């Protein structure tokens, strides 16, 4: 199992290949979103919506063999691509690892250059929601 840092470094390398070309970066993010496994329509409920996102983002999580697995979807291509990066980083990690994760890839790939303030806030909300799921699973494990 790759560590959260290893996966972030992979993502940074992929974005370096795009050489700061905004159009290519946006296209690549949208492509990543298309590769996200389909989420069950039945999971696209208001209670699975991430609060604080301008677009609709649905997120669910399950604990399997002490690892957390996320499913996500969005009604916009860019946002779906962004959430797919987080799913890639956090899927299969322990609740502990997710809670202690230091996410640095956004700064390294210059994410603030291609997503506006609104999306930035939404991205932070997605991370927060994923960490809340991890916290809930950790609490349940300790009980």
What whole-number distance in Å separates Cα of residue 59 and Cα of residue 103?
Answer: 19
SS3 assignment, position 53:
coil
Active site residue 97: no
What does the DSSP assignment read for 59-122?
Answer: EEEEEETTEEEEEEEESSHHHHHHHHHHHHHHTTB-HHHHHH----HHHHTTHHHHS-HHHHHH
What whole-number distance in Å separates Cα of residue 48 and Cα of residue 141?
Answer: 22
Q: Which one of the listed residues 4, 53, 89, 126 is annotated catalytic?
A: 53
Nearest to 97 by CA among 106, 89, 108, 87: 89
Active-site amino acid positions: 53
């Amino acid at each position: 199992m790759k560590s959260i840092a290893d996966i972030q470094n992979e993502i940074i390398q992929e974005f370096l290949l795009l050489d700061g070309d905004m159009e290519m970066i946006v296209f690549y993010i949208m492509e990543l979103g298309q590769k996200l496994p389909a989420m069950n329509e039945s999971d696209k409920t208001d209670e699975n919506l991430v609060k604080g996102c301008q677009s609709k983002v649905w997120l669910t999580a399950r604990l399997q063999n002490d690892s957390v697995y996320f499913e996500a979807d969005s009604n916009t291509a860019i946002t779906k691509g962004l959430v797919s990066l987080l799913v890639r980083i956090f899927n299969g990690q322990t609740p502990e690892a997710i809670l202690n994760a230091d996410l640095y890839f956004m700064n390294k790939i210059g994410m603030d250059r291609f997503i506006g303030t609104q999306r930035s806030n939404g991205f932070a909300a997605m991370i927060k929601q994923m960490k809340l799921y991890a916290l809930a699973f950790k609490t349940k494990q300790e009980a």
